[in-house]
Amino acid sequence: MMIFYWTAYNDFSKERRIDFYEQFSVLNYIPQFVTRIANLRLISVRLRHFPTRTILFLVGLSATVSGCTTVPEVFTISSTSDAVVPAYGRKDYGHALAAIASIMSRDFNLPVVDVLVTVYPSKASYESGAIAEGLRQRERLQQRGIKVLSEEEYIQSWKTLAVSSPAIGGYRNVHLENSRISTYRWDAWVKLLAHELTHSAQSELVRGGPSSSDRWLREGFAEWVGFKVADKFGAENFAEARQRVLDRIANARSYQTFPSLNQLVTASDWTTWMRTLGGAGTYGQSFLAVAVLVEEKGIEAMVRYFSLFGKVNNREANFLTAFGETLRSFVERFDKRATSGAIDPPDKATKEILAPQTLGGK
Ligand SMILES: [Zn+2]
């Protein structure tokens, strides 16, 4: 079977390869269906003495279950919807995603434009979805005359990404591996969906084009939106979540050397520190830096920062234009506060702005 896939893949033109990767997940299920049908025959042989109706019921049930577990579910999410937050603890993708998009658009002015969210039932189908996403990104960059890595290198790096991360937020596409994320606690599940939709909004702000925005700003802001949304859902209070991250960082700092924000700029910087330090020094620290920036300069400045890359792809100039302070000055200020352990909760005035505004749900 694999040989057939590989031969077929190599015969395809470049355009068709992307489609092929999307089809690949469906082809992947054929052996599973054959096994299922064989199993059903065995069941019906063993259940010979059962009434026909019972057997038909079992066959129907089995077909329904196999249909539910093997076909990826796709949701189209748009921030124009004014959705209601789902009931506390309910992991309903359609409702949750619509409510998140609504909060992102209304409260943070973030664009969620016809995003296709695919929920994959298995590791294999998720990997093929991720590879298709990578190849689409490669095509977009190529169309803009940007030099890109080879197709094989793209396939390899997006496959690696799919293995290390159970969710990917791309341009108008979000990919979720349900077999992994359905085991998350509800607050973490909600936060993850909002995190990925934020990456999708960041891509929308530059219309799918390239952006050399700092990684700590991209990840930190996705985390920030994630915590804000979790608060609105009644899943976890924002101020408490912020304090929890601070405590985790203080604890990790007692036995680890932390990177400066200057060392969390590129994709390779990020991967290296994630491998050596894990979440506290990377996601945790980036979230706090973004929280401080939003508290000081406002959410509009943050959204403006990401959209500026649609015009000029210059990280230092865009930081200065958006926040009215040089990147160097902010990083120095933040690193000094972080190393002295002085990133306290925001002052009273800021606290009022950041007070949880629960939309119901809990
Ligand atoms: Zn992320």
19 alpha carbon – ligand 1 mean position (Å): 26
Reported confidence tier of residue 342, pLDDT bands at 50, 70, 90: low
In tens, the pLDDT along 279-323 reads 999 999 999 999 999 999 999 999 999 999 999 999 999 999 999
- Among 3-17, 80-94, 124-138, 287-301, the range scoring the smallest mean pLDDT is 3-17
214 alpha carbon – ligand 1 mean position (Å): 12
DSSP 212-272: ---HHHHHHHHHHHHHHHHHHTTSS-HHHHHHHHHHHHHHHHTTSPPPPGGGSSSHHHHHH
Total residue length of the chain: 362
Domain boundaries, the chain: 2-70, 211-362
219 alpha carbon – ligand 1 mean position (Å): 5
Spatial separation of the C-alpha atoms in residues 139 and 17, rounded to whole Å: 11
Higher per-residue pLDDT: 140 or 11 = 140
Q: What is the pLDDT of residue 51?
A: 55
Say how many CA atoms lie within 13 Å of 343 toward its Cβ.
28
Domain at 211-362: CATH architecture? Orthogonal Bundle (1.10)
Phi-psi map region of 324: left, alpha, beta (phi>0 left; psi -120 to 50 alpha): left
Q: What is the pLDDT of residue 328?
A: 97
195 alpha carbon – ligand 1 mean position (Å): 6
pLDDT over 90 (residue 353)? no
289 alpha carbon – ligand 1 mean position (Å): 15
pLDDT over 90 (residue 46)? no
2 alpha carbon – ligand 1 mean position (Å): 32
Higher per-residue pLDDT: 49 or 198 = 198
Mean predicted confidence (pLDDT) in 10-24: 40
56 alpha carbon – ligand 1 mean position (Å): 46
Average confidence score pLDDT of the chain: 81
105 beta partners: none
57 alpha carbon – ligand 1 mean position (Å): 44
Spatial separation of the C-alpha atoms in residues 142 and 139, rounded to whole Å: 5
353 alpha carbon – ligand 1 mean position (Å): 25
127 alpha carbon – ligand 1 mean position (Å): 17
